[in-house]
Amino acid sequence: MQLLEWSSTYVSNLAGTIAIIFAIAMWATSFRPVRRKMFEVFFYTHHLYILYIVFYVLHVGAAYFCMIIPGIFLFVIDRYLRFLQSRKRAPLLSARLLPFGLVELNFAKSNKLKYNPTSILFVNIPSISKLQWHPFTVISSSSLESETLSVAIKCHGSWSQKLYQTLMSSTSPPLDRLEVSVEGPYGPSSMNFLRYAMNKL
């Protein structure tokens, strides 16, 4: 079969077939029901992009690969800068349990850090998972709270449920042992949501 041919001098069909399988796996786990109910599946499956690029290069050859090198270069720089930011532990000021399975985390921040509400902050708690970074909506405003940044976490998946249980079963203040790393915030540069009388996060 031509799909299983592996050519060392021209286009390798087998490498292309493997690459498209990885792409389909990432696409299939991107749907909202999967992301919300099985975030770990979505998260780990999307690390297949590394293998996808490898087999894509084996499929198309070096000439076509040169066309995407600038994009890969920018991606690597972005990942490196995010890695440097995420190595630092975020100064957690408070962690509160709210009704309906909500957790509020409040962080200290620099006065120079400006962002808009509804920006996205990636949160990692090594005691729950060293690899998982979860995005949450920022519920505070840097124009109103210049020294704090807050996120609200709804307990949907296993990660957020473990966080809730950790805080609920704690006999000591959570700030004494809850180490948190963050990336961001990233997000909208506009304040268009202020046009609405009510906003739901």
Higher pLDDT among residues 170 and 144, named by residue: 144
Extract the tokens encoding 179: 């180490």
The band of 155, judged by pLDDT with boundaries at 50, 70 and 90, is: confident
pLDDT in the model for residue 201: 55
pLDDT in the model for residue 154: 83
Beta bridge partners of 195: none
Q: If you ran DSSP here, which 8-state letter would residue 48 be given?
A: G
Q: Residue 134: is its pLDDT beyond 90? A: no
Q: Give 41-73 pLDDT, tens digit per residue.
A: 888 888 898 899 888 888 887 777 788 888 889
Tell me what the pLDDT averaged over the chain comes to: 77
What is the three-class DSSP state of 74? helix
Q: Which of 181, 154, 157 is nearest to 41 (CA)?
A: 157
Q: Residue 87: is its pLDDT beyond 80? A: no
Q: Residue 90: is its pLDDT beyond 80? A: no
Higher pLDDT among residues 47 and 189, named by residue: 47
Q: Give 174-183 pLDDT, tens digit per residue.
A: 555 677 888 7
Q: For the domain covering 92-189, report its CATH number.
A: 2.40.30.10
pLDDT more than 90, % of the chain: 5
The band of 165, judged by pLDDT with boundaries at 50, 70 and 90, is: confident
The band of 8, judged by pLDDT with boundaries at 50, 70 and 90, is: low
- Residue found by looking up tokens 């976490």 in the block: 153
Q: Return all residues near 160 (Cβ < 8 A) that are at least 6 apart.
A: 103, 134, 153, 154
Q: Give 10-35 pLDDT, tens digit per residue.
A: 567 788 888 999 999 999 998 888 88
Mean pLDDT check: name the lowest of 71-75, 85-89, 136-140. 85-89
pLDDT in the model for residue 196: 58
pLDDT in the model for residue 24: 93
Domains of the chain by residue range: 2-86, 92-189
Rounded-to-integer distance, Cα 48 and Cα 41, Å: 12
